[in-house]
Amino acid sequence: MAWRLLSLATNCAYPAMVVLSESMSPAFERGDVIFLSNWKEQVEVGDIPAMWFEDYRLPMVHRAIHLTSDDGSQSILTKGDNNDRTDEALYPLGQTYVYREQVIGLVRGYVPYVGWITLAAQEIPWFKPLLAVGILVFSVFPGLRPK
């Protein structure tokens, strides 16, 4: 319910995401949680759009560095702050720009490090069982909880 309300308030199906790579360092780092909204009609140079292409498993979040407009439709060229090249090779085949319709939101802020819990749960095989045991122990033995 809270996620749905946050989605409605931000006009974004995914109002929060964990950063998975270092491509936007130093703006934000791997393991940071970014917050998105999708209320702006037009992207501006310097904005950081989150784009999700059809048939791609994950979104891409990189800075807008060049814009064009044709017939009211906006095209955006992006690049990761920590990357040497623009993102054209990462776009769907035959596409040289991102279309505004492919932008699911713009980064509005972030919280450092909070996403490391999610990354650990995905990347360290023993993390989930250890977390489950910890929760079980504190549930069964409430006297062990910090006061």
Q: Annotated catalytic sites, by residue?
A: 23, 62, 87
- Distance separating alpha carbons of residues 143 and 147, to the nearest angstrom: 9
For the chain, what is the total number of helices (H) and then of strands (E)?
Answer: 3, 8
The values of phi and psi at residue 16, to 5°, are: -140, 140
SS3 126: coil
For residue 62, the tally of other CB atoms under 10 A from its CB is 25
Asked if residues 78 and 95 have their Cβ atoms less than 8 Å apart, the reply is no
